[in-house]
């Protein structure tokens, strides 16, 4: 039986950014197993220095075109935390709707366009159109609903306009809320066929115990507020994020790696599912049962199944929030008019603050220090994919020992599928570069 394995995937497809898988095993000895990241650093932490907190979210949302709203919300939360501002109940409800739209949009993209081709034996989503045209059309229909609802709430999905420090520059009307509810209802109709399709997926068998990290609180499936919870019993405030992420450098990556209690940890849909299963809506729990997904699940390939479960939860929860807003009516007087009334509504002072938001790929941190004029003095961003990189490599090491006797093509595909299961956003995770001057 062969114990040799050589995998070299220079351009990993169906992920955001550029990742390079290298695996080298000879005679059962694993010499190298790395996910190389060669992306250039982004410099957003330097870009925001000297800028006002009231323009910050329009810069940070450019970090990612997929998690644009999530970065905006993390940025806003960190700025508000720094100046000691508490958003209104209405603002929090509207932000939750926005975050649900963001997570739904990204999950649908990942499930249908990035993972489904592997599960259905195709090279790409384009190849699915010939054999699974209805599924492709369903995915595009659902994504359009997300984009259209985002346009109603914040002007557009990519680089949102109206979400700002203090609240929203435009408060949705009753007609706006009804329009958004229509889009969420349409998504809900397409979720059951999505579940039926997913039930045909044969996820690879894999188990590796790891630590799962997410937000958690006692009242809901936490996405926007709560403590940072670890499956190994750690519960800390978001202000302690540096002791939770413990970033460190590795020579083969321009993105930092992270660890907590053990060698590594995982953030994302599977981590949220494992830590917060009891808080899911009933229909989401039904979806989990249908997919035979139970906490604590330690098969990373099932991160996609957890995303499907979350889609049911996000949709139901958003509809319930909209119904509450329709019942009580929205308060238009809360609108923040940038340049006119923000200084009256928001009292700026010097301070430090942290934003912690559950975006599609996991827990995102933004941290700022501001002066008494609301100008950014320093900034730090810790991206979910960066937190997952060490865990990805340890999963790859375990996989190498399992597939070293399989055909090269089959083994390579399993490595690619493993990395894709994390739904990595590689470009966003790069914010460090070592340069040696000789």
Q: What φ, ψ does residue 318 adopt, rounded to 5°?
A: -65, -40
Contact 112, 395 (CB under 8 A): no
Closest residue by Cα to residue 177 from 90, 105, 104, 88: 90
What domain range is 350 assigned to? 44-390
d(CA 187, CA 192): 10
Quick one: DSSP state of residue 24? E
136-173 pLDDT, tens digit each:
999 999 999 999 999 999 998 888 899 999 999 999 99
Q: Looking at the domain assignment, is residue 341 inside a domain? A: yes
Query: What is the value of pTM for the model shown?
Result: 0.92
Q: Looking at the domain assignment, is residue 162 inside a domain? A: yes
Q: Looking at the domain assignment, is residue 423 inside a domain? A: no
Which two tokens mark 98? 């926005």
Q: Give the domain CATH number at 332.
A: 1.10.645.10
Contact 118, 19 (CB under 8 A): no
Q: Tell me: pLDDT of 245 over 90.
A: yes
How many domains does the structure of the chain reveal? Answer: 1
Least confident of 168-177, 231-240, 395-404: 395-404
Q: Looking at the domain assignment, is residue 31 inside a domain? A: no
Q: Looking at the domain assignment, is residue 412 inside a domain? A: no
284-303 pLDDT, tens digit each:
999 999 999 999 999 999 99
332-345 pLDDT, tens digit each:
999 988 766 666 77
Q: What is the dihedral of CA 35, 126, 189, 146, to 10 degrees?
A: 60
Q: Looking at the domain assignment, is residue 430 inside a domain? A: no
Beta bridge partners of 24: 6, 32
Predicted confidence band of residue 436 (pLDDT cuts 50, 70, 90): very low
Q: Tell me: pLDDT of 355 over 60.
A: yes
Contact 354, 367 (CB under 8 A): yes
Q: Looking at the domain assignment, is residue 418 inside a domain? A: no
Residue with tokens 């599960």: 119
38-68 pLDDT, tens digit each:
666 677 787 889 999 988 888 887 777 677 8
Q: Tell me: pLDDT of 437 over 50.
A: no
> Would you state the pLDDT for residue 438?
24
Q: Indicate the pairing of strand 362-370 with strand 351-359.
A: antiparallel
User: How many residues in total does the chain contain?
Assistant: 438
Q: Looking at the domain assignment, is residue 300 inside a domain? A: yes
């Amino acid at each position: 039986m062969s114990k040799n394995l050589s995998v070299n995937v220079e351009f990993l497809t169906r992920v955001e950014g550029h990742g390079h898988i290298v695996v080298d095993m000879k005679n059962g000895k694993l010499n190298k197993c790395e996910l190389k990241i060669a992306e250039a650093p982004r410099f957003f932490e330097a870009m925001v220095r000297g800028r006002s907190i009231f323009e910050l979210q329009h810069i940070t949302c450019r970090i990612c075109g997929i998690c644009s709203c999530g970065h905006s919300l993390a940025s806003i939360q960190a700025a508000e935390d720094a100046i000691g501002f508490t958003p209104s109940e209405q603002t929090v409800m509207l932000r939750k709707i926005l975050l649900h739209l963001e997570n739904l949009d990204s999950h649908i993209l990942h499930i249908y366009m990035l993972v489904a081709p592997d599960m259905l034996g195709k090279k790409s989503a384009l190849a699915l159109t010939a054999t699974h045209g209805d599924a492709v059309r369903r995915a595009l229909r659902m994504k359009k609903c997300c984009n259209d609802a985002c346009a109603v709430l914040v002007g557009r999905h990519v680089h949102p306009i109206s979400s700002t420090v203090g609240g929203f520059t435009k408060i949705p009307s009753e007609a706006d809320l009804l329009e958004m509810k229509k889009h969420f209802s349409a998504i809900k109709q397409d979720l059951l066929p999505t579940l039926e399709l997913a039930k045909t997926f044969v996820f690879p068998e894999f188990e590796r115990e790891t630590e799962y990290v997410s937000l958690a609180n006692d009242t809901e499936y936490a996405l926007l507020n709560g403590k940072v919870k670890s499956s190994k019993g750690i519960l800390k405030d978001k202000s302690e994020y540096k002791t939770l992420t413990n970033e460190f450098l590795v020579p083969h990556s321009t993105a930092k790696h992270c660890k907590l209690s053990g060698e590594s940890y995982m953030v994302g849909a599977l981590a949220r599912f494992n830590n917060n299963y009891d808080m899911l809506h009933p229909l989401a729990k039904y979806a989990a049962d249908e997919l035979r997904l139970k906490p604590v699940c330690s098969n990373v390939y099932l991160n996609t199944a957890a995303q499907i479960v979350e889609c049911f939860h996000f949709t139901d929860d958003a509809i319930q929030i909209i119904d509450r807003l329709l019942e009580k009516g929205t308060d238009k007087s809360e609108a923040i008019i940038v340049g006119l009334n923000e200084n009256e509504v928001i009292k700026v002072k010097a301070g430090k603050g942290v934003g912690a938001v559950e975006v599609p790929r996991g827990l995102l941190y933004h941290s700022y220090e501001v002066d008494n004029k609301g100008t950014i003095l320093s900034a730090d961003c810790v991206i979910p994919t960066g937190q997952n990189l060490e865990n990805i490599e340890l999963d790859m090491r375990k996989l190498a020992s399992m597939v070293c006797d399989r055909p090269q093509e089959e083994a390579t595909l399993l490595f690619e599928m493993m990395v894709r299961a994390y739904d990595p956003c590689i470009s966003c995770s790069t914010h460090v570069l070592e340069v040696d001057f000789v």
